Structure 1
Amino acid sequence: MKWYPIKLTAAVREYAFAQRAIADRLGKKDVPPTGKIAETWEISGYKEAMGTVTNGALAGQTLQQLTEMHPDELVGEGWRGPHFPLLQKFIDATGMLPVHLHADDETAQRLHNAPNGKTEAWHILWAAPDATILAGLKSDFSREELFEAFVQQDYDAVMLRYPIQAGDTIYVPGGIIHAFGPDALVFEIQQTSDLGQFVSPTNLYGEPLDEEKWHSNINATLDELKNHDRPRPHAGLELKVGKNSRIVGCAGPYFALERWRLKENYLDPAHPHRCTTLSNVGDPVTLNFAGGSDRLERAQSCILPAALGGVEIVPDTEASLVACYVPDLAQDIIEPLRQAGYRDRQIQELGEVKG
């Protein structure tokens, strides 16, 4: 098979916290012309939000079908798993998201009969000057203290709040309670999962819950809550490639995220051990590869399959892309950053990096 950059349909979620920043500020087309657009699931192999190929010879096939039929060529040599390992979204946090958490792997398997949990990271595309996130607990509170704070909706009493700005990345392990917004536009990379527990008195559509259901949700959240990590915004570690810049925003066993700022042509070399996803958050670019070329427009995403080989990215002006992949931490993260002069302590602050 002659592989090429794969584009997918994007599922849309219309939750209450959003407005239309994904269309109006980010410039994404092919979304509903009216109404709230909370999330677009750019690369998704998740159940009812499954992406379907829109371009080339594989058009019409789902991401799950490609993953099952071509795991080595699509995802990476030797890779095996129940679904495509990366799920990525654009999220409009014009309003504040509900306070919630996602199960880690152990909890997902033990309580939900799911293959994995949901560690995630947020890359801030835009934020108002006073925008903040909530991430992690201030201390080791008792269950009763946390329950009371959540019933009172006094999140700042128990949770850590940090200011954010465009370019920050926040790595959030499964089990860590969190929220972001208002007044932010976010790119999210995560494990392929949609598990979540919420402590807010309304559902994602803004509808109030009765007290019994609300309190039950809080208790379910407390059952899954972990306090081993206190995520903080990170400006990333920069790798210069000629006039171009790759900023490593976060890294861990499930994914790495980089922000590419390209002023000239950039060759992304062959990576047979992993695929790469690209989301264009700037001006259009041309992707040249062994089998031809394609365009990646503003707010479009694609997968560069592991078997594709090197891809030359040609910016029209100055390109800005978010690149994600499942890393070999030693090969893809630790060694390049050490060679660039970063200390191990700095590298470890990117997320879950050991080596």
Structure 2
Amino acid sequence: MNWYPLKLTAHIRHYVFGERLIPEHLGKRDLPEGIIAETWEISDYRDTTGTVTNGSLKGKTLHELTLAHPDELVGKDWRGPHFPLLEKFIDASHMLPVHLHADDETAARIHGEPNGKTEAWHILWAAPGATILAGLKGEFSRSQLFDAFVAQDYDSVMCRYPIQAGDTIYVPGGIIHSFGPDALVFEVQQTSDLGQMVMPTDLYGRKHSEEEWHANINAALDELRTHYNSHPNSGLRLSEGKNQRVVCCAGPYFALERWTLTEPHVEPSHPHRCITLSNVGEAVQLEFEGGTERLEKGESCILPAAIAPTHIIPTTSEASLIACYVPNLQQGIIEPLRAAGYSDQQIQALGEVSLL
């Protein structure tokens, strides 16, 4: 099979925290009217798995292809129950719920799921004064946290950080967090939708009973972790000719890079991993063995592991892309960043990067 860039249908969620930033600010096309809180650009989570919209595999689901062609699609010798990355655009016009996601151990032990949900947010746009909440300020007893969440006094126990476009925040499973209002975010995560919220309403603004609300807080406290300090990071820059890539975050589950291209870029073949591209700038042309594809603003695609080298060509003076992949941390992250002169401390600040 001649593999090519795979475009997928996007799954839409209409949560109460969204408005119209994704079509109106990002420029993503063909979305319905009303609130668009999230578009799941790359997804193989249960009934949200994307369907291929282009080429010879049109009509196949990402789940079908992942199970039938794991070596060619995801990477040589890779096996798993689903495609390993889930990626979204998120409209945080209003504040998201304060919540956390299970880590791998908790997902298996409590929920019977194959993995938890570590995630990262890349800030595409933020109004002046926009902030995030991530992690705890210090050590608190369970009762102190419970009382703070019932009082909705999140700042008394959680860290708040200012954000700006270009920041990335790496958030392991178990770390309590929120972001918004007034932000547009790209999120990459493990393929999971596990979550525990501590707020008195659900994702659609419906009020919980007091009993249900308090039970949710206790469930979140059962899964809470405090091992990692999530904070905004501007990333580490690497130049390739006139083009620039910023390694924004990295860990065992994913790496996220922001590419700024002012001249054509050749993405080589990566037999051991695929790569996803999400276009947050003007259209680019993708030229590959056997054809071409145009990736418009707000569109995403997968470059399969078995694809031949792909030429990515800006159609204007500058292109802006987000690239995500499951990294070999030593070869793909640590070695090139050390070679560029970055310290081990700077590299470790990208996320969960073990230097052993």
Instruction: Determine the C-alpha separation between the residues in 1 that align with 2:64 and 2:44.
Output: 9
Instruction: Determine the C-alpha separation between the residues in 1 that align with 2:128 and 2:240.
Output: 31
Instruction: Determine the C-alpha separation between the residues in 1 that align with 2:30 and 2:111.
Output: 34
SS at match of 1:273: coil
Q: Which amino acid is the alignment partner of residue 188 of structure 2?
A: I
Equivalence for 2:338: 338
Instruction: Determine the C-alpha separation between the residues in 2 that align with 1:230 and 1:136.
Output: 6
Q: Which amino acid is the alignment partner of residue 45 of structure 1?
A: D
Structure 1, unpaired ranges of 5+: none
SS at match of 2:341: coil
Deviation string for 1:187-219 (max 9, x for gaps)? 000000000000010000011111000000000
Instruction: Determine the C-alpha separation between the residues in 2 that align with 1:29 and 1:182.
Output: 23
Deviation string for 1:287-344 (max 9, x for gaps)? 1111211100000000000000211110012000000000000111011111111111
| 1:31 Cα deviation from its structure 2 partner | 1.1
Structure 2, unpaired ranges of 5+: none
Deviation string for 1:239-298 (max 9, x for gaps)? 100110000000000000000000111111111110000000000000111121110000
1:323 is aligned to 2:323:
yes
SS at match of 2:306: helix
Instruction: Determine the C-alpha separation between the residues in 2 that align with 1:204 and 1:165.
Output: 25
SS at match of 1:150: helix
Equivalence for 2:209: 210
Instruction: Determine the C-alpha separation between the residues in 2 that align with 1:279 and 1:351.
Output: 21
RMSD: 0.5
Query: Please, what TM-score do these two structures have when normalized by structure 1?
Result: 0.99
SS at match of 1:307: coil
Matched positions, count: 354
Instruction: Determine the C-alpha separation between the residues in 2 that align with 1:189 and 1:349.
Output: 17
Instruction: Determine the C-alpha separation between the residues in 2 that align with 1:185 and 1:135.
Output: 17
Q: Percent identity?
A: 70
- Greater shift, 335-344 or 186-195, is seen at 335-344
1:101 is aligned to 2:103:
no
Instruction: Determine the C-alpha separation between the residues in 2 that align with 1:230 and 1:334.
Output: 20
What are the within-5 Å matches in structure 2 for residues 61-76 of structure 1?
61-76=60-75
What are the within-5 Å matches in structure 2 for residues 106-145 of structure 1?
106-145=105-144
Equivalence for 1:225: 224
Equivalence for 1:18: 18
SS at match of 1:109: helix
Instruction: Determine the C-alpha separation between the residues in 1 that align with 2:83 and 2:305.
Output: 13
SS at match of 1:214: helix
* Equivalent pair of 1:150/1:218 in contact (CA under 8 Å): yes
| 1:118 Cα deviation from its structure 2 partner | 0.1
Equivalence for 1:173: 172
* Equivalent pair of 1:99/1:198 in contact (CA under 8 Å): yes
Query: Please, what TM-score do these two structures have when normalized by structure 2?
Result: 0.99
Equivalence for 1:2: 2
Equivalence for 2:196: 197
What are the within-5 Å matches in structure 2 for residues 291-330 of structure 1?
291-317=290-316, 318-330=318-330
SS at match of 1:88: strand
* Equivalent pair of 1:272/1:309 in contact (CA under 8 Å): no
Instruction: Determine the C-alpha separation between the residues in 1 that align with 2:81 and 2:52.
Output: 19
Instruction: Determine the C-alpha separation between the residues in 2 that align with 1:256 and 1:30.
Output: 29
Deviation string for 1:38-58 (max 9, x for gaps)? 000000000121101110111
Instruction: Determine the C-alpha separation between the residues in 2 that align with 1:48 and 1:68.
Output: 15
Instruction: Determine the C-alpha separation between the residues in 1 that align with 2:184 and 2:353.
Output: 27
Instruction: Determine the C-alpha separation between the residues in 2 that align with 1:94 and 1:47.
Output: 27
1:85 is aligned to 2:84:
yes
Equivalence for 2:265: 266
Q: Which amino acid is the alignment partner of residue 350 of structure 1?
A: L
Q: Which amino acid is the alignment partner of residue 254 of structure 1?
A: Y
| 1:220 Cα deviation from its structure 2 partner | 0.3
Instruction: Determine the C-alpha separation between the residues in 2 that align with 1:230 and 1:335.
Output: 24
Q: Which amino acid is the alignment partner of residue 134 of structure 1?
A: L
SS at match of 2:246: strand
Instruction: Determine the C-alpha separation between the residues in 2 that align with 1:333 and 1:310.
Output: 20
| 1:76 Cα deviation from its structure 2 partner | 0.4
* Equivalent pair of 1:287/1:294 in contact (CA under 8 Å): yes
Equivalence for 2:36: 37
| 1:230 Cα deviation from its structure 2 partner | 1.3
Equivalence for 1:28: 28
| 1:149 Cα deviation from its structure 2 partner | 0.1
* Equivalent pair of 1:124/1:164 in contact (CA under 8 Å): yes
Instruction: Determine the C-alpha separation between the residues in 1 that align with 2:259 and 2:12.
Output: 26
What are the within-5 Å matches in structure 2 for residues 276-287 of structure 1?
276-287=275-286
Equivalence for 1:243: 242
SS at match of 2:26: coil
Which structure 1 residue ranges, 4+ long, deviate > 4 Å from structure 2? none
| 1:157 Cα deviation from its structure 2 partner | 0.2
